[in-house]
Structure 1
């Protein structure tokens, strides 16, 4: 999971979402009614999904696991708990069917004081709560929020940890190739690899590598001084 920059709503869509929210408020809609209204609002859902896709990493990757294609709109605070947030843009995330339907569902844990425990990647930096162990692809929690997020989204399920570990190997190889092409004066092919890096799944792996490159012992952790040198290029900071 990495930080996501939330896009600004186009005015027509902003008005549509606001109108739908006012209709729910006026009718004092409960979860059932709100869910039905959401299903009926096909054009609104399509517009929201298209805008979310422009924010996602890779090629429409899930904003939670970063692996699968995001094909569903997840309500971060579930409709079952907050029907008035059904059409709230800041409550919408692009998610894969597994994270949305099999992992998160209607889960939305809170701390004893009522504060939400799930990390909102559009409002806070996940790296304040999570540390990615690159060689094994596992997340380590740095806070109560990190623990809840790992558990609810299943961020350490085997298919994801193996995928991240493989992505770490792939990223190192691509970075070395790109650096070689830059040094050989071949900007065209180097640019192709830059684009490939940008659209790889598991963007959290490259994001972590970029963040860790300034830490003590980074060359050992990241795969050698050549990888460290390759990472020291502003063009690769896609998510800054």
Structure 2
């Protein structure tokens, strides 16, 4: 998971979403509100294209899942499930793009909460997952830094799905290849090709690996985190490379 910026919807779409929410609010009982929410969501054709386009704009890579970062984002997931919060069914701030596996097989209607009722899952459009999760780069597995990070690992099976773990290990090696090639290309004065390398690197699945690499390279314990990977750490510390890669994403570490 990586930090994402929420897209802005058109006034017409926001007006339609508000109208749907008002319709649900007018129902007399909680059961009626849930039933109405399900019915309206099943017939959301007036807003679906705008919601899909907005989420696609926000998603990492080529419309990757906002949870695992690997699968294609095909589903509009309700961060707080509509079965628990029907009034948030058409709340744009409650919509995330998920792959069908994360949405239907992993998260489903799960929404763990802390003792005070606050959500334990991390919304990557509202806060930085790096505050809650740390990727062990050579192993491709996550460690939870907080209860919320641990909840994300459990609910989304971030360490249990072998294809994700292997994919992150490969993505770590691939990122090193991209960085080495970028340095060689720049040294040869091939700036246009260097920019293409940056774009392609960020368009790959599992870019949470690349984000974690830059983040951890700035950590006080970076030498330990990258033990045995001194060449990669040197590249990550290269001011020119950092500017090229992080300016493209619009983030700084």
TM-score, L = length of structure 1? 0.95
Determine if contact 1:110/1:116 at 8 Å carries over to the other structure: yes
1:182 is matched with 186
What is residue 147 of structure 1 aligned with on the other side? 150
Q: Distance in 2 between matches of 1:147 and 1:113?
A: 17
Deviation at 1:27, TM superposition (A): 2.3
Match for residue 228 of structure 1 among 230, 233, 236: 236
Structure 1 residue 38 corresponds to structure 2 residue 45: no
Distance in 2, Cα, partners of 1:136 & 1:99: 21
Residue number in structure 2 paired with 1:83: 86
Alpha-carbon distance in 2 for matches of 1:184, 1:219:
28
Secondary structure at the counterpart of residue 43 of structure 1: coil
Helix, strand or coil at the partner of 2:184:
helix
Contact 1:76/1:93, CA 8 A, preserved across alignment: yes
Unaligned runs of at least 5 residues, structure 2: none
Residue in 1 that maps onto 2:173: 169
Supply the distance in 1 between the matched residues of 2:64 and 2:228 (Cα, whole angstroms).
Answer: 26
Q: CA deviation at 1:25?
A: 0.5
Q: 2:57 aligns with which of 54, 59, 66?
A: 54
**1:148–1:181 CA distance, 2 compared to 1 (3 A):** same
Match of 1:200 among 200, 204, 228: 204
Number of matched pairs: 240
Q: CA deviation at 1:70?
A: 0.1
The 3-state SS of whatever aligns with 2:15 is helix
**Is this contact kept in 1: 2:25–2:33, CA < 8 A?**
no
Aligned to 2:214: 210
> Quick one: distance in 1 between partners of 2:177 and 2:47?
42
| Runs of 5+ unmatched residues, structure 1 | none
1:74 to 73, 77, 82: 77
Q: Is the 8 A contact 2:69 2:205 kept in 1?
A: yes
SS at match of 2:164: helix
**CA–CA separation in structure 1 for the residues paired with 2:127 and 2:5:** 10
> Kindly tell me: are residues 239 and 144 of structure 1, through their superposed partners in 2, closer, same or farther at Cα, counting changes over 3 Å?
farther
User: Which segment drifts farther, 99-108 or 26-35?
Assistant: 26-35
Q: CA deviation at 1:8?
A: 1.6
Answer whether contact 2:107 2:156 (CA < 8 A) is retained: yes
Alignment check: 8 A CA contact 1:176 1:226 kept? no
